[in-house]
Copies of this chain bind each other. A is one copy, B any other.
Amino acid sequence: MADVANDHRICFIGDSMTQGTSDPTCLGWPGRVSAAAWATGYAVTAHNLGIRGDTSQGVAARWQAESALRLQAECHKYLVFSFGANDMTPQGDGLRVAVAQSVEFFTRIVSAAQARHPTVVLGPFPVGEAAQDARILDLCPLYAERAQALGVPYLPVARFLTDSALWRVDVVASDGCHPGAAGYQLVADRVLAWPAWWFSNPTIS
């Protein structure tokens, strides 16, 4: 029977970088950190709700319904978000989601999330296109500031990844935008080393 004390259900909500696109192991970083949690003694149920191309606006429209269906049972419940990269994609004369709107969606999503369940955020990922990556790097501190104001742990990843030779080489060897297994492992390792991550220390049983 289910052991409620060790029943941890996580929704990972974001874009292709959360989905794990182009990872031939089909784990992405969410699968990797979830398997690591099992190895540390946590019985984790991981829901990967990453959707390729999704923006902050897209996440805002769906995260509540999709996560609520998956976090109904009596259990420990967690929300992990990462989005924003696709907001910075050119569209018409501007961007898919303008910077001010993107920050507004971020604030709306993260404040509602943390009111519901323990929540953490990974910043937007780089996408391997110089101009867009520059806009993503500019967006990061705005997201970080809002996260801090809300008291929600925020892990920046964009600068770390654009500076990483491993990441860059892996993206080029993959589809030019997303990494393969090695790049996703790099992100997973960063999450696992993050003091805010819930499952880094062994369970006390």
Contact = CB atoms under 8 A, between A and B. Distances in A.
A165 interface: no
Copies of this chain held together in the complex: 2
A47 interface: yes
Interface in A63-101: 65-66, 69-70, 72-73
Interface residues of A, number: 35
A52 interface: yes
A22 B34 contact: no
11 contacts: A1-B176, A2-B175, A3-B175, A19-B47, A21-B45, A26-B27, A26-B35, A26-B38, A48-B48, A53-B73, A66-B66
Interface of A: 1-3, 19, 21-22, 24-27, 31, 34-35, 38-39, 43-48, 51-53, 58, 62, 65-66, 69-70, 72-73, 175-177
